[in-house]
Amino acid sequence: VGIDQPNGMALISRCGKGHAGTRFNARGVNDDGHVANFVETEAIVLADDGSTLSSFVQVRGSVPVFWEQRATTVGAGPPALSRTADASLPAFAEHMSTLRQLYGDIAAINLLAFKEREAVLSSAYSECVRGLLADTSADMSDHLHYFTYDAAARCPTMRIEELTPLMTQLHAQFEVVGYFQGSLRDTSATLRRQEGVFRTNCLDCLDRTNLFQAAAAWHALTTVHKVLSKGRRATHLRLWEENGAALSVAYAGASTSKTRYSAAKKRTGRTGFMTSLVDDAISGAQRLYSSAFLDSARQEAMDCVLYGTAAELHALHGDRGTSTSDVTLFVGTWNVNGQPPAAHDDLADWLHPTSGADLYLIGFQEIVDLTAESVLLSASKENSRLWERRILRCLPGYATVQRFQLVGVALILLAKRSAMQLISHVTHSTVRTGFGGYTANKGSVIVSATLGKRVRISLVASHMAAGQSHVEERNADVATTLDAVPSLRTDDAAIWLGDFNYRVNISRAEALRLTAANDIAPLLRLDQLRQEQREGRTFPGFEEQPITFLPTYKYNLNSDTYDDSEKERIPAWTDRIMYRGVVQPLRYARAELRSSDHKPVYAMFRVPLAGDDATGGAPPAVARDAVGLAGRLAHSQAVASPTNSVASQHDGQDSSSSSSSSSS
């Protein structure tokens, strides 16, 4: 990044290639344990008498869990987990294990804000740390030390002096980590070895991280190990300013005024304050412009250089995970009547119809009792956690990707640990349809995700209006959900499951006679959902696999006998699974579990990923016209260059060093 020969100092930053990319295209960790914006920075100091050369190495990298953040036209959306902490743990462990092998003990410094927007990442990070330290086979309990510090709140003016209390708190860690020192008189003599490393992150691993690393290098080399004289402070700060600017250009597409740490360059007074605000606004706008219009081209170039073509990457990773040509998906739905898992129900009868699918999508209705308190105030999530744990015990080798709940409707998405890379960009929404949309006693949970690299799929769990005669209300529930979630019509595929509550227009006595004879054809002809769909009044564009099983509702609890209470419910297929798009149906059946008044239903699907590099490598766009790509990159450089000009106004004769270092 920079060198100052008269003062005998240099700063070198080495960018990792394992998860390289631009700001909103590369976040978090990948399945190989590589993190985005991973940079090793080495501060090198020549002794005043020229006898020794000392160095202090630090690393930075994105929060090492699976998360994403989308650029918007007005800034950045909130960071969101694309996998649960549990699902991130294998990649997290691989990342930390690699750091330990390379550097020794790890002092992990998390500078994220404690406010809700960033707290979701800190929570997942902390959970992964606890999980790794609890794993005795990983042998990390004495080698990983985790610290949190809200740098945004505690360093409002971005001065390294504001980090002095933290440096004091970490003094023991500096002693453990140490530093490198070699003799220049005897070039074969290593006087000291660095025994560990500080691993630092904020959200982007740019401004706050660079501030901490500048302070940490100064503290280590002056206060702790005393190999750097305090008279070289100005040079130290300038080199770190250049480092922050260069790494900001590389990752975010623009420099930043926030890397001016020295007091001489901090503007004071009302005019200085306003000028700093303008500088920050300009750099923020440049970053926003880069993320919105330039980063895609820069990402393509990085992928081309680092990974080659998509075909070459597929050859490299072709044995990872499952087949890249398709994904198998198990879909299950069950109205559990407000009950936790029953000890006598063997979920394997429901969840193990064939060999294990790549992904499991499980929807529940009435996962809590639909009381006034749960509907109007706050529904407990304890039952959904109990069901999730019970499912995971039944599915060894799987982990939860995400779990969502809207009062009584819950949706749990699980994946084989070996197939986690097949699913990304997971988002969710909810739609209330109870009492005209005012309450959530009825409604839907919708999850959208990308399978492989390109197949976009929407997954919906619903509970619709009850009652034999309330057909129009059920049709309205479907229409409301479709209007609220356009992706159900436009995604490559959609799967819609739940207790739709459509009934059969027949007398109870005749229904019981036909079910006893296992003669379901007459019942299906009078099925409300089929009748309404034939008339084009519900589920437009959706299909259903042939029904070959008995009605799933309503049963006496803990029995196989249809309801014989005074309400005299008519047997019906209230529990259904619909689909549209590229998914290929494989199986449709029910399971004979007894703890609810509904029987669970399941379906199997295949989702083709033909021509899609599902292993998570470079996007197919790397094969685009090289001339067009070169043009876009040239434009990117032209836009970035004014940033270096801004820096040069403040850095004087060293601006050429900062500008040329942006490729470091």
Residue 336 and residue 255 share a domain: no
Residue 317 has pLDDT above 60, yes or no: no
Say which DSSP state 260 is in.
Answer: -
**pLDDT level of residue 6 (50, 70, 90 thresholds):** confident
Residue 190 and residue 152 share a domain: yes
Bigger pLDDT: 320 or 466?
Answer: 466
Say if 614 falls within a structural domain: no
Residue 158 and residue 95 share a domain: yes
Beta strand pairing call for 493-499 and 455-463: parallel
CATH of the domain at 551: 3.60.10.10
| 251-266 CB burial, b ≥16 within 10 A, e <16 | bbbbbbbbbbbbeeee
Residue 526 and residue 428 share a domain: yes
Helix, strand, coil percentages, rounded to 5, for the chain: 40, 25, 35
Predicted local confidence at residue 186, as pLDDT: 85
Residue 365 and residue 224 share a domain: no
Report the alpha-carbon distance of residue 142 to residue 74 in Å, rounded: 44
Say if 318 falls within a structural domain: no
Residue 386 and residue 355 share a domain: yes
430 — phi, psi (to 5°)? Answer: -135, 150
Residue 230's CB is within 10 A of a number of other CB atoms, namely 10
Residue 389 and residue 279 share a domain: no
Sequence letter at residue 201: N
Domain count, the chain: 2
Predicted local confidence at residue 262, as pLDDT: 53
pLDDT-wise least confident of 358-362, 385-389, 431-435, 448-452: 431-435
The two tokens of residue 332 are 């299950």
Say if 613 falls within a structural domain: no
Residue 64 and residue 102 share a domain: yes
Predicted local confidence at residue 68, as pLDDT: 87
Q: What is the pLDDT of residues 339-368, one digit of tens each?
A: 999 999 999 999 987 778 999 999 999 998
* Chain centre distance of CA 107: 24
pLDDT-wise least confident of 43-57, 270-284, 465-479: 270-284
Residue 303 and residue 409 share a domain: no
Q: For residue 533, what are the CA distances in angstroms to 14, 196, 522, 539? A: 60, 65, 17, 6
Mean pLDDT across 48-57: 93
Say if 316 falls within a structural domain: no
Q: What is the pLDDT of residues 223-260, one digit of tens each?
A: 999 999 989 999 999 999 999 999 998 877 777 655 56
Predicted local confidence at residue 636, as pLDDT: 40
Predicted local confidence at residue 206, as pLDDT: 94
Say if 117 falls within a structural domain: yes
Residue 192 has pLDDT above 90, yes or no: yes
Say if 616 falls within a structural domain: no
Residue 653 and residue 536 share a domain: no
Residue 554 has pLDDT above 80, yes or no: yes
The overall average pLDDT reported for the chain is 84
Residue 110 and residue 199 share a domain: yes
Q: For residue 457, what are the CA distances in angstroms to 425, 480, 540? A: 10, 19, 17
Predicted local confidence at residue 143, as pLDDT: 97
Say if 598 falls within a structural domain: yes
Residue 365 and residue 291 share a domain: no
Mean pLDDT across 483-506: 97
Whether the link from the prior residue into 230 is cis, omega within 30° of 0, is no
Range of the domain at 109: 2-309+624-663
Specify the long-range contacts of residues 443-447, CB closer than 8 Å, at least 24 apart.
Answer: 443/406, 443/407, 443/409, 444/406, 444/409, 444/477, 444/481, 444/485, 444/498, 445/363, 445/404, 445/405, 445/406, 445/409, 445/410, 445/411, 446/481, 446/485, 446/488, 447/361, 447/402, 447/404, 447/411, 447/413
Residue 371 neighbours by CB under 8 Å, 6+ apart? none
Say if 134 falls within a structural domain: yes
State pTM to two decimals.
Answer: 0.70
Q: What is the pLDDT of residues 632-664, one digit of tens each?
A: 334 444 433 433 333 333 333 333 333 333 333
The winner for highest mean pLDDT among 7-11, 79-83, 620-624 is: 7-11
Residue 143's CB is within 10 A of a number of other CB atoms, namely 16
